[in-house]
Copies of this chain bind each other. A is one copy, B any other.
């Protein structure tokens, strides 16, 4: 009776994080489609648009967010033994890369990862956030499932490139989110058209348009296409995500359009969840 949270009780289902309004996961059926680039630039764009934003790098096998944000800080332990997220480019960041810097791989089995993610959610002092963006590991494996079962997700974004091979895997990710009853906010097509910086002609390196087609086929919203732009990659490699350039930058604009669609879809998902509560009454 005295303690609301018994440490030895039955593990509860996903519990809301106090103070965090919306938790949005970025997933992909396949790695290398730019899921982390999308997560980082979404977080930066939301922050630049005036929101309080957190970013959780849950890609335990490839935690590239510290590199993309240009930070190798160590999170400090604050009041009540809570982990303080690192503040960078106006967003609160936690990454497994902070705990395991350097080249050593995390050769961990599923259950260990589950408890790590739980700790990241429950023991990190996120404070007041309007959006917590979670960069999931790619694929439909153990870690993605553990995460989905641990985090009370408002919704998920599926990232894909337009190649047939990447879309084949994206369809699997859509089916995974459906099976575990996570609302899919929509699909974003990354590495879409490429414009040669020399002759300005368009080259469909990874094809084009397949993302929108796949979204239509599965009846989920299409959240936009982001061009394959060497400047985006350079800015990621240098720790200064392109979205820092602001909405007016031609290289960053697509990320802001995408961020606005994510905001709209998140509000719709929150409103629908509210309606469900009323229906239960």
**Interfacial residues, chain A to chain B (CB-CB below 8 A):** 29-33, 36, 61-62, 64, 67-68, 103-110, 137-143, 145, 161, 163-166, 168-169, 171-176, 179, 194, 196-199, 201, 203-207, 228, 230, 233-234, 236-237
Contacts and interface: CB of A to CB of B under 8 A. Distances in A.
Q: Which residue, of A61, A168, A194, has the highest number of chain B Cβ atoms within 10 A?
A: A61
Given A138-B31, A172-B104, A175-B105, A165 B236 contact: yes
Contact of A237 (B138, B198, B207): B207
A234 B161 CA distance: 14
Contacts of A109: 110, 142
Given A68-B165, A206-B233, 6 more contacts: A31-B32, A32-B138, A61-B141, A105-B172, A107-B140, A141-B141
Contacts of A137: 139, 141
Chain A at the B interface: SS class: loop
A140 B205 contact: no
Contacts of A230: 203-205
B61 A163 contact: no
B31 A105 contact: no
A29 B63 CA distance: 11
Contact of A64 (B64, B105, B168): B168
A196 B203 contact: yes
Given A62-B30, A169-B62, A179-B107, A197 B207 contact: no
Nearest to A36: B165
Contacts of A62: 29-30, 139, 168-169, 172
A44 to B, nearest CB: 16
Contact of A61 (B110, B139, B174, B198): B139
Nearest to A108: B141
A164 B67 contact: yes
B142 A142 contact: yes
Given A29-B62, A206-B233, A198 B197 contact: no
Contacts of A198: 196, 199, 201, 203
A189 to B, nearest CB: 14
Given A164-B237, A196-B203, A233-B207, A172 B103 contact: yes
A106 to B, nearest CB: 7
Q: Which 8 A-B pairs have the closest CB atoms?
A: A32-B32, A31-B31, A199-B199, A105-B140, A105-B172, A61-B139, A164-B237, A103-B171
Nearest to A169: B62
Contacts of A145: 107
Contact of A173 (B67, B105, B179): B105
9 contacts: A61-B141, A61-B169, A62-B172, A64-B168, A104-B175, A164-B237, A197-B203, A198-B199, A206-B233
